[in-house]
Structure 1
């Protein structure tokens, strides 16, 4: 599992009550850890572009409809609760996500 991979997660939490798509945001340097950090993905459109970078569906990412990365919904979960990798985001999308994360976390 690498940064930029799209996965399905299953976790019982405030925002993860059902299996949800997510993007891996954790650095590849930490792939030996028993957990992984992700941002949840939603199909609900919003006007908050900095908090919801849009993703267009294509063959590489495996999304079926336009989706939005929920920058404010960061979760660290056990790898055992992560499903198969179903897609991958290109570098351009990951750069937008990284920029939004930096603003949200106050490190920009």
Structure 2
């Protein structure tokens, strides 16, 4: 199942959107998606994955807390959180907080 961690996000999206249509392979697809949901999200073809801290910051983005508030909650500097957010955007291939949250929901990260 390691191939899934390095597959393009479109592969996961395809599996997610096709749930219920895989017939006798439905169990296998469910197993793949369950495995993938417990792993960091890979970048689009570069092999990079989100770090634990990047995932933690990503999970705070839907709360609409200001970056300074997220920094306070994680007991790190504002600049550290800003760096993590930029890295998440780059790795997910998005440009805004909303796009990052939407993609994270679609792929099961949130």
Both proteins in one fold, TM over 0.5: no
The structure with the greater share of residues assigned to helix is 2
TM-score by length of 2: 0.23
Using structure 1 for the length normalisation, give the TM-score: 0.23
